[in-house]
Structure 1
């Protein structure tokens, strides 16, 4: 029986990736489509994609598929043709990464989930069959000129912090499942306004647009292909980018630059910076924004305490981690539950989304 998961260590896989001479393309895609047997579909995907040396994370559920992967250049056409061999994926838009070195993933993980986007929706009447109208980059820019347009960012605060559309409304929540009812409540008096939802690659804002329509909103739009596709269309058609800063991405890059604007600040010294990094202390791995100067000063760590641990011999570090779940830091997205000594730091799990 074929092995349908990886058995090589993460360290070795990462080393292999950086030794690859062939360029890779990072691509994301999703599709809402009812799947009768997600596990069977998952296994078939693995058997076909693993020989093509596709790396990345793919979630499969009864409602469809959500994927972020990297593909060797020589296998890209075979990869695309395989996807298009499924009727419900035939011709699907593949969002090519904007700022990509091809080193985004180093292993293939395909998991079956309850949903491809955790939304918390329990209403049996809700359906993805009725959703907002797609808008492309030019239409997005045109609608942004209309005073009756409200642009809603359906991403988390750490994504919004480094880049967003001009005039975009941030829904101040920790998770997408919390954002949906909050967006309805925030805009309850504006049901006849033009409301544009956007996100990284389209998957969250597409569901959000359907949820808004389900709750009585009349003029709902969502950005086709999200920020990734918008940036591509802006470049191709030489349009003005109304998105400023960086687009946070859930892979090893942690961000792709859309414009040269730096709208965030270093979480340690407050200087302009928008580079996300994970704390080098293996007991922490906190995601935060750090400038180059602070990276040198703190050895890539988030605090002096973590820097002290990071510089201990490896055996001592292992002993400190024994019996501790995620060490001193449990990944936490909430602005309200941050460590007192780092009030401005952002917490995030490595959970991928679009």
Structure 2
């Protein structure tokens, strides 16, 4: 009985290309009390592996958070499987507007303490007492209201390449960092302003809205389905698009274009550009914005130092990234002092 992925990313890529099938990139989440996350995790893997589902899925006592890819011709089978799980029946599936057959190359289903790391003690408040969900039409109305404070609940590297008109984009590295920081900044407006939040697919706002209501905010709203669902609604309904730039996504695509505006710049030369990459030096793996010209010049590296390292034999490179503190460098997100034009 296979319970874990056994193929490398390259092996999977070859299989996907040989199959020649169109795949759908999908995300969904659901907060629900799961008694045995490990058992549920194994159940998902055993059914999804034969369906050729790929992706990154987190399961915890509080629910499930999934970003995945499924063959288009098996979508109905996949949807039926979800509908046969009581708490996932009819769950909203955010289907990417821009598809990429190689958005995910492995199936990873992991048990975590939380489906989103938030640092909160959920026992102190009711996580089901969430804010008001609004669709794209209502959201557009709210963000034009002078009594609204619109907050981007994502991290700095996400909002840098795209965000909504009139949004406050906190300069934070993690969702955990943002919660208390935002409350402190808005503490004088808990009763006189409408707190309106958005994120990629809705999962962060779901928890944050309940948390802020617990902290005394009287009028709390969240964008239903996040930026992904907003993009679908404005496209299909011909609504005014209030989002500028690209939506950062957590798969190999790294971004979806929501509007034609480019609001970011290359971190190395400053030219307008809005596509992230990871430094080719695996001991660094820094996430940063790099234009095509700098990519060629720097060989997909963030610095001359990293450019020199990738010329070394592979075994020498492995030695350089050995050890806890060296490997921890890979978690940096565009904060390196080597980047002259970082935000």
Normalising by the smaller structure, the TM-score range is: over 0.9
Q: 1:213 to 1:45 in 2, by over 3 A?
A: same
- Say whether 1:341 aligns with 2:317: no
2:33 alignment partner in structure 1? 34
Shift, 1:62, TM fit: 0.7
Distance in 2 (CA, whole Å) between partners of 1:268 and 1:113 is 36
Where do residues 67-86 of structure 1 align in structure 2 (5 Å cutoff)? 67-86=66-85
TM-score with structure 1 length normalisation? 0.92
Give the structure 1 partner of residue 24 of structure 2.
Answer: 25
SS in 2 for 1:174: coil
Whether contact under 8 Å (1:201, 1:225) holds in the other structure is yes
Q: Which runs of 4+ in 1 moved over 6 A?
A: none
Tell me which residue corresponds to 1:181.
180
| Number of the residue aligned with 1:60 | 59
Q: Distance in 1 between matches of 2:134 and 2:274?
A: 28
Q: For residue 102 of structure 1, what is the aligned residue in structure 2? A: 101
Q: Residue 284 of structure 2 aligns with which residue?
A: 284
Maintained 8 Å contact 2:265/2:341: no
Q: Distance in 2 between matches of 1:315 and 1:250?
A: 30
Instruction: Please say if residues 100 and 256 of structure 1, whose CA atoms lie closer than 8 Å, have aligned partners that are also in contact.
Output: no
2:46 counterpart residue number: 47
Instruction: Tell me the distance in 1 between the aligned counterparts of 2:235 and 2:126.
Output: 34
1:135: which partner in 2?
134
| CA drift at 1:326 | 7.5
Deviation at 1:333, TM superposition (A): 4.1
Alignment of 1:290-305 (within 5 A): 290-305=290-305
In 2, distance between residues paired with 1:17 and 1:288?
A: 28
Residue of structure 2 in register with 1:209 after alignment:
209
Question: What residue ranges of structure 2 are gaps of 5+ in the alignment?
Answer: none
RMSD: 1.8
Partner Cα separation in structure 2 for residue 63 and residue 52 of structure 1: 26
Compared with structure 1, are the counterparts of its residues 128 and 262 closer, same or farther at alpha carbon in structure 2 (3 Å cutoff)?
A: same
Return the alpha-carbon distance in structure 2 between the equivalents of residues 262 and 319 of structure 1: 39
| Counterpart Cα distance in 1 of 2:316 and 2:127 | 52
Q: Secondary structure at the match of 1:172?
A: coil
Aligned CA distance change for structure 1 residues 3 and 123 (closer, same or farther; 3 Å): closer
Secondary structure at the counterpart of residue 340 of structure 1: coil
